Chains A and B, each alone.
Chain A
Amino acid sequence: MAGFDKRVASYAEAMEGIEDGMTVLAGGFGLCGIPENLIAEIKRRGVKNLTVASNNCGVDGFGLGVLLEDRQISRIFASYVGENALFEQQMLNDEIEVILTPQGTLAEKMRAGGAGIPAFYTATGYGTPIGEGKEVREFNGRHYILEEALVGDFAIVKGWKADRYGNVVYRHTAQNFNPLAATAGKITVVEVEEIVEPGELEPSQIHTPGIYVDRIIQGTFEKRIEKRTVHG
C-alpha cells in the first residue's frame, strides 16, 4: 500500500540505501531510547566510514558501541563518550574522530537541521576550546559563537507507538534526542514497540508528526539499563 503508509516489512528494508561514508543521526541518551535494532542492522550491513551524531556512543557490546567493533564509525559528534573502553582505545589511536559537542548545542544542531536553519548563535562554549575558530558575535553585550546545523543522510529513531502514517509518541525520558533526530534525516527511520491504527494516537499528543518520517517498523527491544538505582 502506498500513500501515507510508512510501514516496512523488515529491518533490511528499513535501512535500505545506507552506504559507506554517510551521516547518521541517532536518537537516545545513554542506553535509554536507542534504536537498538536499526543499529544492529547497520552492523549487519557492514557499511563503513560513517559519520554519526548521537549524544553518546553506547557501551561495549551494546548500542552504537557495536558499530565500533568493525570500525564502522570514522567520525562522531557527541557530548559524552565515557563508559566505553573500545571507544577510548579507538580515540587514543586516532581511529575515530570525535567532535565533542555540548549537549544542548548538539540537540539544537539537529533541531536547526530539521527546521531549515543552517546555523545559530549560542553562548554555550564561548571562551572555551569549543569556541575556537568559530565566528563570534556580540548581542546585547554578550558573546555568542556560530554553530552549524546537522542534517543526516539517515536518522535512526526509537519511538514507543506510531501509526502507519508515521506519527510517533515517545515513552518517558526515552524521548530525549529522538524527536530532533527524526526531523533532520533525509531518510528518517523509526522503530517502535507498537504500531497502532490511525486515530488511536491523540493528535495533540503526537511528538513527531508523520511528515518527518519515511519508514516505520515494529520491533522488540532489550532496553538495557545502564545504571540500575533503586530506592531503599
Chain B
Amino acid sequence: MALTREQMARRVARELEDGFYVNLGIGIPTLVANYVPEGIDVMLQSENGLLGMGRFPTEEELDADMINAGKQTVTARPGAAIFSSAESFAMIRGGHVDLTVLGAFEVDQEGNIASWMVPGKLIKGMGGAMDLVAGAENIICTMTHASKHGESKLLEKCTLPLTGAGCINRVLTDLAYLEIKDGAFVLKERAPGVSVEEIIEKTAGKLVVPDHVPEMTFVEE
C-alpha cells in the first residue's frame, strides 16, 4: 500500500533531531509538525520572519499580525524570535536551518528539483522555495512517486523548469524513501506492502537497489 499523507509526514518526522531548526513547506511537509517524536525539541522556521512557530491560535488569540509563510494565522511558541524577511533569508541562504522539507513536481538523479512552474499553466511564483533549496544542505523532498497516469516523477533529468540545481539529497515518496548519490537514486526503504519491482517500474531515473530493502513500519498510535 502506498503511504498516506499522514504516514509520509510520520516517516519524515523520524529524520528530526533534537535541537534542529526546521523549515516545513506547504502541504505534507506542514503535517510533519504533528509527529515530532517524544523527547525531541525542534524549532520551526517560517520564512516570513518567524523562528519558533507554534500551534494555530484560539479564537481569543487570533491576530492578523501573526501569520506563517502559508499566510495562516499562527502563534509563536515561548522562546520564539521574529524578524524581517532579509534576516529570515540570511538564515536560510546562510545554511543555518538544519532541515528543510518541501514538496516537488519532479526530482532527478542529479539532485535537481522542479517545484514551481508548469509551462502553459498559470505561474504563481516560487515564493521562498528557490532560496530554501539553494541554502539548505539537508533537504527532504516529499512527493508522490508517479503521476495518476503512472508516469514517474523520479527522473533521469527534470523536464520542468528547475527550482534548484543539484541540491536534493533525500526523497520520500508514497512508495519509498530514497537517497540521491553519485547520479542515482538509492532505494533505502519501501512502503509497507510495496514491492521493489513496483518501485523499479515507477522510477524513470537510475535506481540503485541494495540486496536488502527494509519495509517501513508504522505502529498505530
Name A residues whose Cβ lies closer than 8 Å to a Cβ of B: 29-33, 55, 78-82, 88, 91-92, 100, 102-108, 110-111, 122-130, 160, 171-180, 207, 223-232
Contact residues of A: prevailing secondary structure:
loop
Name B residues whose Cβ lies closer than 8 Å to a Cβ of A: 46-50, 55-59, 61-68, 70-74, 76, 82-86, 88-89, 92-93, 112, 117, 122-131, 134-135, 161-166
List 5 A-B pairs, Cβ < 8 Å. A30-B67, A32-B71, A107-B85, A124-B135, A227-B71
Which of the listed residues A103, A111, A125, A207 has the most CB atoms from chain B within 10 Å of its own CB? A103
Q: Which residue of A lies closest to B84 (CB)?
A: A179
B128:A79 contact, CB within 8 angstroms: yes
* Chain B residues whose C-beta falls within 8 Å of the C-beta of A231 in the assembled complex: 55-58, 61
Q: Please, how many angstroms separate the alpha-carbon atoms of A223 and B163 in the complex?
A: 33
B84 CB to closest chain A CB, in angstroms? Answer: 5
B130:A176 contact, CB within 8 angstroms: no
Q: Please, how many angstroms separate the alpha-carbon atoms of A231 and B77 in the complex?
A: 14
Ranked nearest first, the 8 interchain pairs of A and B with the lowest CB-CB distance are: A127-B165, A104-B89, A104-B131, A82-B124, A80-B125, A223-B64, A107-B85, A103-B128
Q: Please, how many angstroms separate the alpha-carbon atoms of A171 and B56 in the complex?
A: 18
Contact residues of B: prevailing secondary structure:
loop
B124:A124 contact, CB within 8 angstroms: no
**Other A-B pairs, 10, CB within 8 Å; known A103-B47, A126-B134, A175-B84:** A80-B125, A100-B126, A104-B128, A124-B134, A127-B165, A172-B65, A172-B82, A176-B84, A225-B64, A227-B70
A189 CB to closest chain B CB, in angstroms? Answer: 18
* Chain A residues whose C-beta falls within 8 Å of the C-beta of B129 in the assembled complex: 102
B93:A230 contact, CB within 8 angstroms: no
B56:A100 contact, CB within 8 angstroms: no
A79:B55 contact, CB within 8 angstroms: no
With A30-B67, A230-B57: A176-B165 Cβ-Cβ less than 8 Å? no
Which of the listed residues A92, A104, A160, A172 has the most CB atoms from chain B within 10 Å of its own CB? A104
Question: What number of residue pairs across chains A and B have CB atoms under 8 A from each other?
Answer: 171
B93:A32 contact, CB within 8 angstroms: no
Q: Please, how many angstroms separate the alpha-carbon atoms of A128 and B160 in the complex?
A: 10
Q: Please, how many angstroms separate the alpha-carbon atoms of A179 and B112 in the complex?
A: 34
A123:B93 contact, CB within 8 angstroms: yes
Q: Which residue of B lies closest to A229 (CB)?
A: B72
Q: Which residue of B lies closest to A130 (CB)?
A: B130
A125 CB to closest chain B CB, in angstroms? Answer: 5
Q: Please, how many angstroms separate the alpha-carbon atoms of A168 and B66 in the complex?
A: 18
Q: Please, how many angstroms separate the alpha-carbon atoms of A180 and B88 in the complex?
A: 12
Q: Which residue of A lies closest to B53 (CB)?
A: A173
Q: Please, how many angstroms separate the alpha-carbon atoms of A216 and B30 in the complex?
A: 39
Partner of B66, one of A172, A178, A232: A172
* Chain A residues whose C-beta falls within 8 Å of the C-beta of B126 in the assembled complex: 79-80, 100, 102-103, 130
Partner of A124, one of B55, B59, B130: B130
* Chain B residues whose C-beta falls within 8 Å of the C-beta of A160 in the assembled complex: 65
Q: Please, how many angstroms separate the alpha-carbon atoms of A110 and B50 in the complex?
A: 19
A127 CB to closest chain B CB, in angstroms? Answer: 3
Q: Please, how many angstroms separate the alpha-carbon atoms of A82 and B123 in the complex?
A: 8
B82 CB to closest chain A CB, in angstroms? Answer: 6
B54 CB to closest chain A CB, in angstroms? Answer: 9
Q: Please, how many angstroms separate the alpha-carbon atoms of A81 and B126 in the complex?
A: 9
Q: Please, how many angstroms separate the alpha-carbon atoms of A22 and B66 in the complex?
A: 31
Q: Please, how many angstroms separate the alpha-carbon atoms of A172 and B62 in the complex?
A: 12
Q: Please, how many angstroms separate the alpha-carbon atoms of A92 and B123 in the complex?
A: 10
Which of the listed residues B46, B61, B83 has the most CB atoms from chain A within 10 Å of its own CB? B83
* Chain B residues whose C-beta falls within 8 Å of the C-beta of A207 in the assembled complex: 84
A79:B127 contact, CB within 8 angstroms: yes
With A79-B128, A80-B124, A124-B93: A173-B161 Cβ-Cβ less than 8 Å? no
B119 CB to closest chain A CB, in angstroms? Answer: 10
